[in-house]
Amino acid sequence: MMDETFLYLTTIGHKTGQQHRIEIWYVEHQNRYYVVSERRDEAHWVKNIRANPQVTFSIGTHDHPEKNIPLSQGQGWIILPEEHPDLVAEIRQAMQARYGWNNGLIVQLERT
């Protein structure tokens, strides 16, 4: 568990304009990173990305958040099943294989 990696995502608050950082499970697919919101559109970080898709993120461990990928500027997009059914299926399969869970709203993160 100590070596488990997470994605550390920082968004800008849609109401406050303040930075908001979360630690979240992720998968990498075709040089992009995907996270899943269990709370779907109700998650504050999803609302933040909808209002401002500019994000920063890193990948690492709890003790070393930039161990695998240093802090990077990026952009986030909501991936809708009706628009990208094959991609959604692939991401759900990858999340299920890695974490045993895949139910939620998929968000794509790409470094800029």
Fold of 6-111: Pnp Oxidase; Chain A (2.30.110)
Residues 31-39: what's their mean pLDDT?
97
**Residue 2 confidence class, pLDDT cut points 50, 70, 90:** low
The answer to pTM > 0.75 is: yes
What's the pLDDT at 3?
74
- What percent of the chain has pLDDT above 70? 98
The DSSP symbol for 71 reads E
Q: Is 108 left (phi over 0), alpha (psi -120 to 50) or beta?
A: beta
Structure tokens at 76: 């986030």
Per residue in 77-103, pLDDT tens? 999 999 999 999 999 999 999 999 999
Residues 104-111: what's their mean pLDDT?
97
Residue 1: pLDDT above 90? no
Residues 12-40: what's their mean pLDDT?
97
Compute the Cα dihedral for 11, 75, 97, 70 and give only its sign.
negative
Domain ranges of the chain: 6-111
